[in-house]
Structure 1
Amino acid sequence: MPSYKGYFIDLDGTMYKGKTKIPEAAAFIKRLREAKCELMFVTNNSTKSPDQVAANLSNNHDILTAKEEVYTTALATADYLNQVADKQHRTVYTVGESGLNDALIGAGFTFSENNPDYVVVGLDSDVTYHKLEVAVLNIRRGSKFIGTNADSNLPNERGMVPGAGSLVKMVEYATQVKPIMIGKPERIIMDMALKRSGLKRDEVIMVGDNYNTDVLAGMGAEIDTLLVYSGLSTKEQVQTKAKLPTYQVDTLDDWKFE
């Protein structure tokens, strides 16, 4: 198998399942570090800061991680807006949590409920009618509509709860405006991750458990993909697809590299 300088790695379903460890994950990361590969954990989670994600990996899953190795859809959203916004148009309104808000503040954006340049909708466990109302009215008045990611549901101990995509769809329905989507399976998060890493497309592989997010994101960005059957996608589902991942493994222990 070819060697890669960098690995973009999904989290839930690949490194862990909720609060449950995936036994092969820590050993996989250890092997990559020993091989001097660059790592970036690429996640659609916009609610947590890189510090929080790194702490969870380090403290709960035996995967020692620095915050600089974590790339959330919140950071990707901030990087994308920083790229497209000029100096005069840097106000935002968000439906989201601290991870998203902190990333936008860090990129130099300010918050406004009145005619912001951008309305960003992400996962928000404290969402209210008022928040959605402000988002909808501003988009209908001309604010550009950004969605962090299209995940319809998230797994937790109670079951499949609504994900960010459910809120994005609600706002889309009320405005009849299609958002610019940032997270997997869209290409934007991959392009932003590549830019941040400094690596070329053929130097990186995307590793994940979900064909419809991780693999399609890699394909869309012309990046090789490794699908591991430790999470969502099954072999039966994947074999029906017109285009297969570059590589497929049952567990991360099965991945051999130079």
Structure 2
Amino acid sequence: MTNNNVTQYSGYLFDLDGTVYSGKESIQEAISFINALKEKGITYGFITNNSSATREKVAEKLRKMGVEASAGQVFTSALTTAALVKEENISRVYPIGEGGLLGALKQEGIEVTDQQPEAVVVGIDREFSYEKLRISSQALHEGAAYFATNGDKNVPAEHGLQPGNGSIVAAVSAAGGKEPVFVGKPEAHIVNEALERLELDKENVLLIGDNYDTDILAGIHASIDTLLVHTGVTQPHELKQKSKQPTYTAMSLLEWENKLRECR
């Protein structure tokens, strides 16, 4: 553990991919830990850079894995991005993305168009094509604003790492000659939204994730405590190279639960 003075927290925020599940496979130690929080009446929520699914779909996936979860506990980069675009008074965008992003934009009353959009918004898109690259880069060259739900170059899946949204963003940025405003982790936007909606005091909240460069940095940027679990992206030898360390580390949430028991 990075810090031996383990604290009992009144609220938890969980990353999903690599922390609670890997692709379609659940991480059982995490499932058990979350359900124990439910039994104790401790508040928890989920923050994900995955922009492809709606919060309802994410909650449904968690329930199928045995986790008590509602849509109101789920915070996605798509929803946070759409809200930020609206705050910027942008009403017409060209999106690269899937149902989660398209639904979030619609929910905010933002028009989706490929004709003179005011902004390009990029989320994960498993049907990304040259034509989408052409339209988005042309819009950027013509002065459109540029937002990305997140910069994850790879995401963990049941068969290893697969390309993430950052890979698509890299292509659009190269073709369009512009860098985006990133909204999801490691930025603090999504963490702050979750804290506000769940009515959590940041001094008593622990953010748990597997990816130092997204999850842990998001917690650091939001000034809350963090726990890095080595069940996904960042491994122990990689963590040693980081200048700012998480509050705690553990090989799994089972190890973390055992440490909590020792401190009771």
Same fold (TM over 0.5): yes
My pick for the range that moved more, 140-149 or 231-240, is 231-240
- CA deviations 1:213-233 (Å, max 9, x no partner) are 111111111111011122222
Q: CA contact under 8 A between 1:78 and 1:104: conserved in structure 2? A: yes
Q: Which residue of 1 aligns with 2:54?
A: 49
Report the 3-state secondary structure (helix = DSSP H, G, I; strand = E; otherwise coil) of the residue aligned with 1:233: coil
Q: 1:209 to 1:93 in 2, by over 3 A?
A: same
Q: CA contact under 8 A between 2:82 and 2:108: conserved in structure 1? A: yes
Q: Which residue of 1 aligns with 2:168?
A: 167
Q: 1:161 to 1:22 in 2, by over 3 A?
A: closer
Q: Which residue of 1 aligns with 2:213?
A: 212
- CA deviations 1:151-210 (Å, max 9, x no partner) are 112344565332111111111111221100011112222233333333343232210111
Q: Which residue of 2 aligns with 1:85?
A: 88
Runs of at least 5 residues in structure 2 that lack an aligned partner in the other structure: 1-5
Report the 3-state secondary structure (helix = DSSP H, G, I; strand = E; otherwise coil) of the residue aligned with 2:196: helix
Report the 3-state secondary structure (helix = DSSP H, G, I; strand = E; otherwise coil) of the residue aligned with 2:220: helix
One-letter amino acid matched to 1:63: V
Q: Which residue of 2 aligns with 1:21?
A: 26
Q: Could you tell me how far 1:43 is from its partner in structure 2?
A: 0.8
Question: Structure 1 vs Structure 2: percent identity of aligned residues?
Answer: 39
Report the 3-state secondary structure (helix = DSSP H, G, I; strand = E; otherwise coil) of the residue aligned with 1:248: strand
Q: Which residue of 2 aligns with 1:98?
A: 99
Q: Could you tell me how far 1:33 is from its partner in structure 2?
A: 1.4
Mapping of residues 179-190 of structure 1, within 5 Å: 179-190=180-191
Q: CA contact under 8 A between 1:185 and 1:213: conserved in structure 2? A: yes
Which residue, 3, 10, 19 being the options, matches 2:15?
Answer: 10
Q: Could you tell me how far 1:6 is from its partner in structure 2?
A: 2.3
Report the 3-state secondary structure (helix = DSSP H, G, I; strand = E; otherwise coil) of the residue aligned with 2:175: helix
My pick for the range that moved more, 160-169 or 38-47, is 160-169
Q: CA contact under 8 A between 2:93 and 2:112: conserved in structure 1? A: yes
**C-alpha RMSD over aligned residues:** 1.9
Report the 3-state secondary structure (helix = DSSP H, G, I; strand = E; otherwise coil) of the residue aligned with 1:127: coil
Report the 3-state secondary structure (helix = DSSP H, G, I; strand = E; otherwise coil) of the residue aligned with 1:205: strand
Q: CA contact under 8 A between 1:79 and 1:192: conserved in structure 2? A: no
Measure the CA separation in 2 of the matches of 1:14 and 1:128.
30
